């Protein structure tokens, strides 16, 4: 008699596990039967007929194969010694009781990366914006790389405890080199994933979400001064850069995000008053937040709009501004800023791997399309726009978000300090007339009644 073992890769489960079968050759006959053991093909040594690699419980499983072989050989020798025929039923009686007595394992728990993908499918079905889904996709990919790096690509949710979570945070800092706020953003999305599983899927988590805490460090927001805006508006530029500059300035005058200015069409433009004498406004639903906003177009914004959105482009489907793709706009606006002389040095602080690094860079290197939104917010506050009105124009759900801009209005702080220490008659102090003149160059919000 000969006893051997084979892995039935043709019967692999959806979890990637294949059953191990015993093959018994006896008295010119052959018997093949399952023994209740399974493993991944990578963890099976076909030549040695045993478990190998990183398989958990490999030693106990190989022990079982050895003892099963010994019991089969003992039965065969006993039956032959007694003169009793060796039958299939007799051999199965040795194999099958072990299987019958074995408790069936619970279905394999889906890996965390797969669960995160299911979470994203749910978000997609709920109508989340593509940019939001893309951000969560980045987190899912980062999670997959982390689990692969620790040798557990199929780690189940039940094993994600606080120790594993802290290991993940360390990976984000040390291996990925993410700064503090990037780590915060990743963990915030992970917490949203966990809350979804806990509240909507009834899952029991292995970690307490209340203890998963990271602090967000509000970065310094880059914005342009009135002089910077004037320099941009008067800069001599190559022809192809002019439209880039104009789109950027239009966003500085309206506070629009790139996604919203890119999508502007004739249906967003409305006249105030029966004859249009009250001016014009933009009414739109923000792409990112699905929030309705209404923005009054002052002379500066209107002039730019009329330059590109004349009668030929005022139809419902026509785009109002010549916007390129975001990456191209961001590259070009840096070059525009350099040609406009925005070269003063600005300190940039980063925290790669938890280390604080400071360096000075020219202002134009920090420009992006989102700088225009920051500029509008800060300049509007400096010209006296109430925070609650600014909140409506920007489409912020919470006023705390808008208040972040109030914290960076340095010139207002300087005026207060100057008046406190040098008195209200100080020559450098800005007068009410100066402020009024400045306000005419920047867009204001449409009144609540409009």
Q: 69 Cβ partners below 8 Å, 6+ apart?
A: 3
Give the angle 414-416-421 at the CA atoms, nearest 5°.
95
Residue 351 pLDDT grade (very low, low, confident, very high; cuts 50, 70, 90): low
Residue 105 pLDDT grade (very low, low, confident, very high; cuts 50, 70, 90): low
Q: What is the DSSP letter of 257?
A: -
Number of structural domains found in the chain: 3
> Which residue among 50, 70, 101 closes a domain?
101
Residue 232 pLDDT grade (very low, low, confident, very high; cuts 50, 70, 90): very high
| C-beta contacts of 89-96 below 8 A and 24+ residues apart | 91/24, 91/26, 91/31, 92/31, 92/33, 94/68, 95/22, 95/33, 95/35, 95/68, 96/33
pLDDT tens digits, one per residue of 28-62: 888 888 888 888 898 999 999 998 988 888 888 88
| CATH code assigned at 152 | 1.10.150
Is position 220 within any domain?
A: no
Residues 363 and 418 grouped into a single domain? yes
| Residue span of the structural domain in which 271 resides | 226-439
Residues 285 and 394 grouped into a single domain? yes
Residues 284 and 385 grouped into a single domain? yes
Residues 405 and 297 grouped into a single domain? yes
Is position 43 within any domain?
A: yes
Is position 385 within any domain?
A: yes
Label residue 279 left, alpha or beta by phi (over 0 means left) and psi (-120 to 50 means alpha).
left
Residues 193 and 168 grouped into a single domain? yes
Is position 450 within any domain?
A: no
Residues 83 and 200 grouped into a single domain? no
pLDDT tens digits, one per residue of 428-448: 444 444 444 444 444 434 433
pTM beyond 0.85: the answer is no
Which token pair is 383?
């010209």
Distance of CA 66 to the CA centre of its chain: 50
> Which residue among 58, 74, 101 closes a domain?
101
| CATH code assigned at 360 | 1.10.443.10
Is position 45 within any domain?
A: yes
For residue 247, is pLDDT > 60? yes
Is position 298 within any domain?
A: yes
């Amino acid at each position: 008699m000969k006893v051997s073992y084979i892995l039935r890769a043709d019967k692999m489960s959806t979890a990637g596990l294949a059953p191990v079968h015993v093959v018994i050759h006896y008295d010119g006959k052959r018997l093949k039967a399952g023994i209740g053991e399974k493993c991944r093909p990578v963890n099976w040594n076909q030549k040695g007929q045993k478990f190998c690699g990183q398989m958990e419980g490999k030693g106990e499983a190989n022990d079982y194969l050895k003892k099963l072989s010994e019991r089969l050989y003992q039965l065969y020798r006993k039956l032959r010694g007694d003169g009793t025929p060796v039958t299939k039923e007799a051999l199965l009686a040795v194999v099958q009781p072990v299987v019958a007595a074995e408790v069936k394992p619970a279905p394999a728990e889906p890996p965390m990366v797969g669960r995160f993908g299911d979470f994203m499918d749910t978000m997609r079905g709920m109508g989340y914006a593509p940019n939001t889904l893309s951000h969560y996709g980045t987190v899912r990919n980062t999670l997959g790389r982390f689990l692969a790096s620790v040798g557990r690509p199929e780690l189940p949710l039940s094993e994600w405890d606080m120790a594993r979570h802290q290991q993940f945070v360390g990976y984000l800092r040390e291996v990925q080199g993410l700064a503090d706020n990037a780590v915060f953003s990743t963990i915030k999305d992970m917490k949203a994933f966990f809350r979804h599983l806990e509240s909507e899927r009834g899952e029991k988590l292995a970690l307490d979400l209340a203890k998963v805490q990271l602090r967000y460090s509000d970065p310094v927001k880059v914005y342009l001064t009135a002089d910077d805006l004037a320099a941009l508006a008067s800069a001599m530029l190559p022809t192809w850069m002019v439209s880039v500059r104009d789109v950027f300035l239009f966003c500085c005058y309206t506070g629009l995000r790139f996604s919203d200015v890119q999508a502007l069409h004739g249906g967003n433009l409305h006249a105030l008053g029966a004859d249009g004498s009250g001016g014009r406004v933009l009414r739109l639903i923000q792409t990112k937040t699905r929030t309705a906003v209404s923005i009054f177009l002052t002379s500066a914004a209107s002039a730019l709009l009329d330059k590109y959105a004349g009668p030929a482009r005022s139809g419902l489907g026509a785009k109002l501004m010549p916007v390129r793709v975001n990456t191209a706009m961001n590259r070009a606006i840096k070059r525009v800023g350099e040609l406009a002389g925005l070269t003063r040095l600005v300190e940039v602080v980063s925290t790669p791997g938890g280390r604080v690094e400071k360096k000075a860079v020219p202002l134009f290197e920090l420009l992006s399309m989102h700088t225009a939104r920051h500029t509008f917010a800060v300049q509007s506050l400096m010209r006296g726009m109430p925070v609650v009105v600014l909140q409506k124009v920007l489409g912020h759900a919470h006023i705390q978000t808008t208040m972040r801009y109030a914290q960076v209005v340095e010139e207002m702080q300087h005026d207060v300090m100057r008046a406190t220490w040098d008195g209200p008659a100080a020559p450098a102090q800005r007068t009410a007339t100066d402020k009024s003149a400045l306000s005419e160059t920047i867009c204001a919000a449409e009144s609540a009644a409009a």
